[in-house]
C-alpha cells in the first residue's frame, strides 16, 4: 500500500501494521500492498474506554425556544477525541427524551449553539427549535464578525451586540491595572496530540478582543480574581489572552506567559499521534493520553458566569446566571454564601 502524503505516512503505517485496515474485506498488515482499481479500504478505529466525566447537568433556564445548562468542569460539550459518549450533548439528548411529548414539535433534541472548553464550567446555551438555533448561532457569529471587520475594535462594539458573555476566572499574579483591554490576535500552530492544530497568541492570527476587570486581589496568595467579557469567540480565547499578558489561569496545564503552550518545540512533532487526535497504541485502560498538555486538560478555574441576550424569538432582554464555584467567590461573596 502506498501513501503519498508524507505528513500522514507514519500514523497510517502504524494503523496498517496493527491490523486496523481491511482491503476488500480482509485485514492487510503490509504497508507495501499495491491497490487495484476499485479496491475498497475500511479503517476500523480501535475501541477504548472513555475517561471518567461528570454526568449531572443543571438546568438554569428553559422556555419553548432554548435551554441554558450549567456545565460542570471536566465535561466535554461535543463528541471528539477520547470522548464520544460522555459529553454534554449526550446528556442533553437523554434529558430531552425524558421530557416526553413537550418536545415533539420542536427539534429532534436540543443542541448546543456554542462551545465551552472541557475544563470550563458554567452557562451552555442550547436551542430547542430551528429558528432559535439560527438566531442564537448568529448572535455568537456576529460578535466575532464585528471584531474581524474592525481591527481597531473598541468598547462601543458591545453596545450593538445581541449577546454578552461574562466569565469569572482566577489568574496567577497580581494585576496592577483595574481594567485591561486585550486585543491580541489568535492563530494556530501544529502541535502534537491536537489533530487540527493548537490555538495560540499570534501576530498573524485572527482578531480577538477581551475586556478584563479586577474583582479581587489576593496579595498573600499571589493571584487575582477577574471578570472577563469576550467580544469575540476564538477557541480558548480567555486562557490565551490572560496568559498573553503574563497572568495565566491558575492551574492551567497548557498555556504560559505570552499565550503560548509550555514545553513546545515547533521543530519536534510526536509522530505517534495520528491526525485523529489520539495515540494509536492503546494503554491498559483502553486509551492513551497525549504526552504533552492539550486544550482538553483541566485544572484551571474559568466559569461562564452570566449571559445577557436578546431572546431569539421575543427579542426581550434575557439574563441568565450560573452560580459561582466557591474558589471563584470574593471574600465578601463567600461570607454571604456561608450565612445562607
In this structure, the dihedral spanned by the alpha carbons of residues 149, 150, 156 and 159, taken in order and rounded to 10 degrees, is 10
Do residues 26 and 130 share a domain? no
Taking 50 as the pLDDT cut, the residues of the chain under it are 1-7, 101, 103-104, 153-158, 267-286
pLDDT of residue 84: 84
pLDDT of residue 95: 84
Do residues 17 and 105 share a domain? no
pLDDT of residue 106: 54
Q: Say how many CA atoms lie within 13 Å of 32 toward its Cβ.
A: 0
Is position 178 within any domain? yes
pLDDT of residue 306: 97
Q: What is the pTM of this model?
A: 0.80
pLDDT of residue 12: 82
What pLDDT, in 10s, does the model give residues 5-35?
444 577 788 889 888 899 999 999 999 999 9
Q: How far apart are CA 337 and CA 183, in angstroms?
A: 35
Is position 298 within any domain? yes
Do residues 141 and 224 share a domain? yes
Do residues 175 and 247 share a domain? yes
Q: Are 303 and 328 in contact (CB under 8 A)?
A: yes
Q: How far apart are CA 269 and CA 13, in angstroms?
A: 17
Is position 15 within any domain? yes
Is position 48 within any domain? no
pLDDT of residue 274: 40
Do residues 28 and 80 share a domain? no
pLDDT of residue 56: 78
Q: How far apart are CA 58 and CA 126, in angstroms?
A: 13
Do residues 35 and 67 share a domain? no
Q: Is 191 helix (H, G, I), strand (E, B) or coil?
A: strand
Percent of the chain topping pLDDT 90:
58
Do residues 69 and 101 share a domain? yes
Do residues 201 and 311 share a domain? yes
Domain range for residue 11?
5-43
Do residues 29 and 64 share a domain? no
Total domain count, the chain? 2
Amino acid at each position: 500500500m502506498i501513501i503519498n502524503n508524507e505528513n500522514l505516512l507514519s500514523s497510517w503505517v502504524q494503523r496498517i501494521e496493527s491490523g486496523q485496515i481491511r482491503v476488500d474485506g480482509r485485514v492487510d498488515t503490509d504497508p507495501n500492498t499495491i491497490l487495484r482499481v476499485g479496491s475498497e479500504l475500511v479503517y476500523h478505529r480501535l475501541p477504548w474506554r472513555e475517561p471518567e466525566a461528570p454526568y449531572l447537568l443543571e438546568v438554569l433556564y428553559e422556555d419553548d425556544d432554548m435551554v441554558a445548562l450549567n456545565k460542570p468542569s471536566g465535561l466535554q460539550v461535543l463528541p471528539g477525541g477520547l470522548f464520544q459518549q460522555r459529553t454534554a450533548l449526550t446528556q442533553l439528548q437523554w434529558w430531552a427524551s425524558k421530557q416526553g411529548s413537550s418536545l415533539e414539535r420542536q427539534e429532534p433534541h436540543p443542541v448546543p449553539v456554542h462551545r465551552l472548553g472541557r475544563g470550563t464550567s458554567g452557562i451552555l446555551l442550547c436551542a430547542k427549535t430551528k429558528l432559535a438555533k439560527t438566531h442564537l448561532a448568529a448572535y455568537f457569529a456576529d460578535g466575532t464578525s464585528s471584531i474581524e471587520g474592525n481591527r481597531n475594535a473598541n468598547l462601543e462594539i458591545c453596545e450593538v451586540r445581541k449577546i454578552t458573555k461574562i466569565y469569572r476566572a482566577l489568574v496567577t499574579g497580581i494585576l496592577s491595572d483595574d481594567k485591561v483591554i486585550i486585543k491580541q490576535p489568535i492563530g494556530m500552530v501544529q502541535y502534537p496530540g491536537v489533530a487540527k492544530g493548537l490555538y495560540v497568541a499570534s501576530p498573524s492570527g485572527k482578531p480577538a478582543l477581551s475586556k478584563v476587570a479586577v474583582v479581587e486581589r489576593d496579595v498573600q496568595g499571589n493571584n487575582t480574581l477577574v471578570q472577563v467579557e469576550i467580544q469575540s469567540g476564538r477557541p480558548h480565547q480567555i486562557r490565551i489572552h490572560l496568559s498573553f499578558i503574563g497572568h495565566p489561569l491558575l492551574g492551567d496545564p497548557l498555556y504560559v506567559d505570552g499565550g503560548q503552550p509550555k514545553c513546545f518545540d515547533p521543530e519536534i512533532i510526536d509522530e505517534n499521534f495520528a491526525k485523529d487526535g489520539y495515540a494509536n497504541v492503546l494503554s491498559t485502560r483502553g486509551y492513551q493520553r497525549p504526552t504533552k498538555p492539550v486544550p482538553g486538560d483541566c485544572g484551571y478555574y474559568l466559569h461562564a458566569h452570566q449571559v445577557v441576550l436578546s431572546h431569539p424569538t421575543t427579542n426581550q432582554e434575557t439574563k441568565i446566571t450560573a452560580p459561582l464555584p466557591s474558589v471563584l467567590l470574593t471574600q465578601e461573596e463567600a461570607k454571604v454564601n456561608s450565612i445562607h
